[in-house]
Structure 1
Amino acid sequence: MKRISLTFALTAALACPTASLADPAFGFGITILSNGDTAVGLRVFSNNRRNKPAASLGIDYKFETQSFRPAIGAAYLDHNIYVDATVGFDLQTNTLDFGVGTGMLWNSRAPFVPTIPTQNPTPPPPPTGNTDS
């Protein structure tokens, strides 16, 4: 038990600095597990780039055992959805399980696009049409 807890703690410690350097994305979704159980969970992904793979770290709530499941895995991110494959540890039964899931995806922030003011702005066009008062 201590070895598995240490493994998850080490994985979380290594994943957090990576995620903070690479604009993480967040997700909420459903996972179908290898033992037939279903879970809902939250995910943090290592990047927020579309059509790219990402590492995932998350927590699931399993309906059958009514317990929590910390999970690590790999994901494919699209515009507003993700698909992932995870390995998790059921905290109540102390067993490892595998899962495949999908869900909604939120980027951590909108991309920053700097605007550079022009030195010589163009004047607005003169008014057109009838100007009777």
Structure 2
Amino acid sequence: MAPSFILPRDGGSSVSLQDFAGKKLVLFFYPRANTPGCTKEAIDFTRLAGAFAKDGTAVLGISADSLKAQESFRDKHKLAVPLLSDERREMLEAYGAWGEKSMYGKSFLGIIRTTVLIDAKGRIAKVWRNVRVDGHAEEVLAFARTL
């Protein structure tokens, strides 16, 4: 079963797993707003938002950025998917998107680009770890359509 969550989202309200009961849900965890890979990923999910909705699949983006940063990111790139803020990293840890990373030979803790697809019964149907952004949103949509 997918871990429960309640997080603040851009626009000032809160979002919980229960809000999507009976629907498929994509959670894409990204390291930082306004960085090249994260921007491309969020734009790709926005571009396909209508196709996901037509398939009965909701999409949420999650990072540890503040709500202010999430709202700026949304506005700057005209993003249509809700962006959640997990500054305490509780959801990131629960879904395995927080862990050890390596860059230029140095190890550190951070957000591992991860996507989780939850089926309409609240079960994790598929997890993509260490996501490569190019073509990823299309791959997630194709898999969601099989459920």
**Structure 2 length normalisation: TM-score?**
0.26
- Where relative contact order (Cα < 8 A, 6+ residues apart) is larger, the structure is 2
Larger-gyration structure (1/2): 1
**Structure 1 length normalisation: TM-score?**
0.28
